[in-house]
Amino acid sequence: AVVVDSDDEPLGSRSWGRDASGSQKRRCVLAPIEAKQEGDEGAECDQADPELASAAPEPGPVPRRPGRPPGERPAANSRQSEPSPEELEGIVQSIRFLPPAERRAAVAALPDVTRRCLSSHLKDESGGSRLGLLLAHLPDLLPAATIQQRRELLDGVRWLQATHATILAAPDMAAVCAKLRE
């Protein structure tokens, strides 16, 4: 048994005392601990009562995902390796065509490893949107464009800048919505 700061007190007792500075401290006498191997409790239940043995927990912690019934244990070989970038891109393409409610359900049904990899894959994409990808390739595409296409592009950039400034200067959300509907 381990005794912490005790003066002939029985095991497991707790009392209050004062330290050298005068502040109160709780004193505790710790009881000995017995270590059991996993599965020992189930063996005792088997011998004591067969009905209790069926209700005995299986050894070890039982992780449970939301939506999985409490009694269902994951398979031992359910650990998957990380999917390749090509597989992740295929998952992204298949999920993007689903309606929002089905999309959420499809993502929730993915294994944890795949979901984490998919999240990091989408965050790693440059820009994260088609516009960002096109803007990233703009310096390569601009020399191949005609003068007329360059003027149209410049007009579009000026319109986008004016719209952005108007939205930032809007006094309330109603004005922002009205500008976006135009």
Q: What is the pLDDT of residues 140-173, one digit of tens each?
A: 888 888 999 989 988 988 998 898 899 999 999 9
Q: Check pLDDT > 60 for residue 120.
A: yes
Residue from 64, 62, 66, 42 nearest 53 by CA: 42
Q: Which residue has the tokens 């500008």?
A: 179
Where on the phi/psi map is residue 63: left (φ > 0), alpha (ψ -120 to 50), or beta? beta
Q: Check pLDDT > 60 for residue 12.
A: no
Q: How confident is the model at residue 78 (pLDDT cuts 50, 70, 90)?
A: very low
Count of helices and strands (H, E) across the chain? 8, 2
Q: Which residue has the tokens 């050298």?
A: 20
